[in-house]
Structure 1
């Protein structure tokens, strides 16, 4: 075998000589096997044909073009001669294993078996290969498998640059397996780190990996105690054939267990050792030989697990805050730092006891996967918390409320960690605390004034707006350190401002609650939705209608229409920055951004660009508005629909009052009063969010000046990199610390999390996702998706799945299917026929706007963006809360 005097030039190396540092030479699989051997774990011996051998073999082929024609690249590798030096090195290493030893030949790409992407099954494996010629040929076939369609597609999805990928090949002694399979040291379905899951089958593990068999399924605890053992049924065992190759052998429907309890315990112990060595849960392949010995043949990280909260406390329950705010994507480090600072001020304001470090935030605020989570363990261990928290989530993020109730009922494992709630006496201190906070922020008198004199309350909101406006003015002449200090003071001022306006909208919901209590059956949910249509004083709908009005003014300006029709939004945004758009479009967009440029998708993240930074999403919506055939169907114009909705709401209110009057005139008067106050005030529910986002936009502007200074001094690569730091790290950079390496690591982490499509609503400390423990109910019709009713009405139309509003192309009448929404999404609602959201409750932002626009909406639909596909026909019933695929 070639000596390891220069491993980066060697063509063949011993597996025992490898470690993680050898990844560029040996690929992920071989490097991990070397680590297992170094840790003293049982791994069949063998060698690795390095990436140097691959590059030598493909030097004269056109494999560099694999990104555009992988089939051609694969064919070139398969037909090319293996260089003599490589063939000789492989033959020599194989001979050193013994005479015609059966081996497994497996790919080991440099982008394979990594913490961020496993590439499991993307390249090829050849089992029971016998003879030097067969080994050399199998090595070449493994090289060619780098260009299979599935591998190329996986790399594209994972964001891996094809130009930087190479492949090594592992050659190992075959284990004559009596049983084999896979083992996960954490449950890949529920996320639990306190469960090890094994799939086992007779013969070679290929039958399990390929899905050719219904395997034994075993769940064990970390000590190897079997918690559940399900024996598999009929299938096919893969077995080695004398002289080389494998054969699939059908086995009967009835079979005994593949593994004894002692073997399970031994395998779990090996998995625990591998996990401890790598410092992360592992996906391992294993085999039990004819003598009963256990072997590990592969180890890779489980890349699909959602990260644990930091810091984590055993037995605690965490709720994802950003999901409840309509944000699926990860927040930037600066966005999380801002959230910590705001939470610190909130705790200080409510309790009078601020956390020791405002940049760390309150103890109950943790981070996992770039998302902020609230530790809700303490409230869930009290009677008030168990009652109120799910009810609050009913109108905020309905599916989370369902998950919490199931957890409290003991349906989710391990729900028992919460324990029994405190007795009734826990209500008294809770109510005292609420009363103190209410008095401190004058909540009762503000709500009373709003109910008695709505105009006075509206004037109060205008005064708060006027008080916030000067805070949002950013003086570019400030020194960088002053910009940072001003940003911190703005974050500290958020909480004292918001409680001054939230009670006004709260009074509207008190009025609605009063009406529902007194009207009872005379005010069904469908009429509630109708009454809440086209609410006045909603800053978000006012924004959307203003954008529609701008589109209307542009229709008779040929230059603006041509620009929006013929040019991409990004190019238009760049032209706007240079002042080069057609005059009416330039002026109209400028006026719109002056009032609403602080908004954006993901706007609660201070690191997210605002519309004023990049107006491309606004321009895309304007272009979409201009495509609507309003001249042919004038009644479909959003402003007309909004006015029609307001009239329909008043008519529904009158109908409800008439029904109640049949039973009681007094009740009818009170119901009418409550519903009118709901219409007058509930639209202000968006006000505090708008004020928050205005302040965050100002914070972002201050930090932009800080970032520009740091980039100019070479401490950051570009100004926007400041959002990949937190406040303390930014201060350190101002002091001269070069943060470019830290930013590079943070960007890699952030980009990886951006590709994550599923985020747990509720997470236990051991990583268990309670929602995954028990599947949600389906509808009465096969395939029906069930969520929460949010806006009444029924629509049958094609689906449009959208993950980013800036890249959306929603056609009129389509069913908009999204993970969640915030105000940056709402311009799309004007053209959508219905709305389906994975997150949200009946009074979440998206639900409210959908009602106001009169489109059916269902929210809190688990897996909607993955279970539905663009172009699929569905029937959305907003009153029943169902989405049913159509033939």
Structure 2
């Protein structure tokens, strides 16, 4: 083999060379080709590593490290490295750095995961450093990082970059966007005298410099440690007297910021750059990679600063939404814009202008609302009960001079609101519900009958007609809300009235009891049906045995093959016939329904079999909750009667309507999900046809197109490359743990700014996490952190800690001892269901799923909205 198979000059590389030389070397080659100042050097290719690794046992990380570090490089590789090193100069000092194929990528930086060796002098030392860089691919931290990122170890190869050392007088790192707040027009520089390793490794407290439109802002560091090159090779850490002045002038900082902006423009994304200034003050770039932690920015919907609210996160979806799911949201948003706000949308498939997407999440431009008096008054208050922390974030923006009031009159808003209420007869429906609750329930059920008729597909539709029918049924989704919500809304209006009537005699604790075990709640009724099935299966030895011993995914395959024990097969089929339209993350059309994949349901049934205490049985707990609610109503009425018999009668009427109507709040969601499930079935037929034509690889690929792209594919366009790119992006976004509740158009995450400036929003006493009170009661138990409920193992009594929940999660609530959620407000879905089941719950706890670990003993105080973390449970 030729020497260029093992060694290649950096100046010959570009992004296409990544499989051969890894991310770091490919990026450096791009910089050189674009004319940026980069020290000369070469890369030892992945082919050189692969040739050596093929002869070694890499099945165990420790053995792999030892073998690679101790192996002799084959003569052709060693000769090629020696020749390339000599080409840089005689015994010239070089930096030797790893460059893995899964490194410095747009979605995973791998920063610090593999090793770097500085001031390496002599060919033999270079060869040794190459071996050690190879071995660092198998360090525990590198292996763990790859596993966290979902990257196959066998698919990763490693190259090595060898670059001439810069005689650095000052060095450090530069971010072309603020990595903490996300602000895109702010350059952040950390700088210290000597080699940049001091800054990168965290060995020094560097100068922290921010360059933005307002100038240069310096926070001096003590710079008490310097990393210096030693004569003959190697480095030393030297303690020095703390430096008082900045190590960069303002002019040098601005020049570095300008250089960073040019690098960012070249790569088309914010960059994390390592740099050094030589004795003449000339800058050199030694590394550039994307800042992988920033959430992608939605395309702006208008000029100037825009405030983008993450609507999918507010609905409890921390995971990304499939492209088809986002397309369905567009159609729904277009209908809302037309019918509710009187702003017609020409193309419902394209959606209204305020609807934006990025990173698989749905955003809504709420700037006009924040710049109007009605919006400022109402939007945060709505979020107070839906997604409380988002309300805090939005209120924090109201003093921003860029969001000054432009609309002070309430009249236009009230006129639009009145027209909408009258159009859908909302006041009439609420009044009728208060007068005749049973009739209101029957009206809601008739809406359900119409939804079931709408979701019955004519058998003779062509595939093109099925696609258009999917659009049609999605356009019918929004009108379900004003026909069903007024009944439950009347119940909550009565709750507000009851509080006014009773005053201190109806405090938060009593309200919590009143709202327990509400009747007519489709979600809790579904969960209790599943529990009843579990009780039946417990009595069937064959069913109980397979549920206890066979993984849920295998059980699902057996169900599809008709190979489960008869009692389990028939019982599951009956449950799915009624509730199989539900799913986890069910508002995403792209997510399989339980009727398609019952893995989650089977896992929940297995969890239920672990509950042996009959007193804790969900149906018994639910019945006790109803009794407690009745007792709470009676006691509150008696307390008020002591002051006024008339008030007592009014309170009894109000609380009766709360109990009879408020549980209907889940009906509209159930009907919407039936519509979404029907649209999914129609689109699956489209995907089946496209796969048969060879335009998709498999039917469910259609959910990685949008509706417009599906039309184009039916017209003959091959969509396989588009789907492959979308699936890769979706898989990357699945690993994103931090999703901004609110995002400004300049990239700023206001919640991150507030945390940095004043600690965590709502921070409480030491050792406590503060959120929003959701369901009263106190419980101390081990935590179980669950990021995905499918297949989740939850022991009875454990406290469920989750980023968010939707109805697909709620079967887990039946045996949980408590609930902690990162998202939500007191009237969000998880909070309501927790109250009805009588389990203590705190919602809106920032980063709960990362700050709490499974097995930790925690205390949930659902009335105070506080979670206290104790010691690890045995």
Question: Aligned equivalents of 2:683 and 2:192: distance in 1?
Answer: 58
The CA RMSD measured in Å over matched residues stands at 1.6
Residue by residue over 1:412-456, the C-alpha shift from the partner in whole angstroms, topping out at 9 and shown as x without a partner, is: xxx332123532xx2111111100000000000000101111111
CA contact (8 A) 2:371 2:407 kept: yes
Counterpart of 2:443 in structure 1 is 460
Counterpart of 1:199 in structure 2 is 190
Counterpart of 2:270 in structure 1 is 281
Instruction: Sort the Cα spacing of 1:57 and 1:572 in 2 relative to 1 into closer, same or farther, 3 A.
Output: closer
CA contact (8 A) 1:474 1:701 kept: no
CA contact (8 A) 1:217 1:229 kept: yes
Question: Aligned equivalents of 2:104 and 2:299: distance in 1?
Answer: 25
Among candidates 17, 29, 40, match of residue 22 of structure 1: 17
Question: Aligned equivalents of 1:572 and 1:658: distance in 2?
Answer: 53
Moved more, 31-40 or 471-480: 471-480
Counterpart of 1:376 in structure 2 is 366
CA contact (8 A) 2:599 2:791 kept: no
Residue by residue over 1:98-152, the C-alpha shift from the partner in whole angstroms, topping out at 9 and shown as x without a partner, is: 2221111111111111112111111110001111111121112111111112112
User: How many pairs are equivalent?
Assistant: 866
- How far is 1:555 from its partner? 1.8
Task: With the length of structure 1 as denominator, give the TM-score of the two structures.
Answer: 0.96
- How far is 1:176 from its partner? 1.5
Is 1:422 matched up with 2:407?
yes
Counterpart of 2:414 in structure 1 is 431
Counterpart of 1:240 in structure 2 is 229
Counterpart of 2:847 in structure 1 is 863
Moved more, 429-438 or 516-525: 516-525
- How far is 1:821 from its partner? 0.5
Among candidates 654, 678, 692, match of residue 698 of structure 1: 678
- How far is 1:663 from its partner? 3.0
Residue by residue over 1:730-753, the C-alpha shift from the partner in whole angstroms, topping out at 9 and shown as x without a partner, is: 112212211111110110011111
Among candidates 680, 685, 690, match of residue 660 of structure 2: 680
Question: How do 1:322-721 and structure 2 match up within 5 A?
Answer: 322-408=312-398, 410=399, 415-420=400-405, 422-423=407-408, 426-475=409-458, 477-629=460-612, 633-721=613-701
Counterpart of 1:830 in structure 2 is 814
Moved more, 342-351 or 633-642: 342-351
Secondary structure of the corresponding residue to residue 340 of structure 2: helix
Counterpart of 1:231 in structure 2 is 220
CA contact (8 A) 1:778 1:784 kept: no
- How far is 1:161 from its partner? 2.3
- How far is 1:244 from its partner? 0.9
Question: Aligned equivalents of 1:40 and 1:676: distance in 2?
Answer: 76
Question: Aligned equivalents of 1:190 and 1:645: distance in 2?
Answer: 44
Residue by residue over 1:440-497, the C-alpha shift from the partner in whole angstroms, topping out at 9 and shown as x without a partner, is: 0000000010111111111101111111112222355532112112211111111122
Question: Aligned equivalents of 1:136 and 1:758: distance in 2?
Answer: 41
Is 1:298 matched up with 2:287?
yes
Is 1:80 matched up with 2:71?
yes
Is 1:807 matched up with 2:760?
no
Is 1:94 matched up with 2:85?
yes
Instruction: Sort the Cα spacing of 1:22 and 1:352 in 2 relative to 1 into closer, same or farther, 3 A.
Output: same
Counterpart of 2:139 in structure 1 is 148
- How far is 1:498 from its partner? 2.1
Moved more, 648-657 or 752-761: 648-657
Question: How do 1:85-124 and structure 2 match up within 5 A?
Answer: 85-124=76-115
Question: Aligned equivalents of 1:772 and 1:351: distance in 2?
Answer: 32
Instruction: Sort the Cα spacing of 1:254 and 1:671 in 2 relative to 1 into closer, same or farther, 3 A.
Output: farther
Instruction: Sort the Cα spacing of 1:518 and 1:858 in 2 relative to 1 into closer, same or farther, 3 A.
Output: same
Question: Aligned equivalents of 2:50 and 2:550: distance in 1?
Answer: 43
Secondary structure of the corresponding residue to residue 495 of structure 1: coil
Question: Aligned equivalents of 1:140 and 1:519: distance in 2?
Answer: 77
Secondary structure of the corresponding residue to residue 829 of structure 1: helix
Question: Aligned equivalents of 1:349 and 1:710: distance in 2?
Answer: 34
Moved more, 650-659 or 354-363: 650-659
- How far is 1:322 from its partner? 1.0
Residue by residue over 1:60-99, the C-alpha shift from the partner in whole angstroms, topping out at 9 and shown as x without a partner, is: 323xxx3x30111121111211122222222222222222
Question: How do 1:239-258 and structure 2 match up within 5 A?
Answer: 239-258=228-247
Is 1:58 matched up with 2:43?
no
Instruction: Sort the Cα spacing of 1:57 and 1:559 in 2 relative to 1 into closer, same or farther, 3 A.
Output: closer
Q: Which runs of 5+ in 1 are unaligned?
A: none
Counterpart of 1:751 in structure 2 is 731
Question: Aligned equivalents of 2:549 and 2:20: distance in 1?
Answer: 49
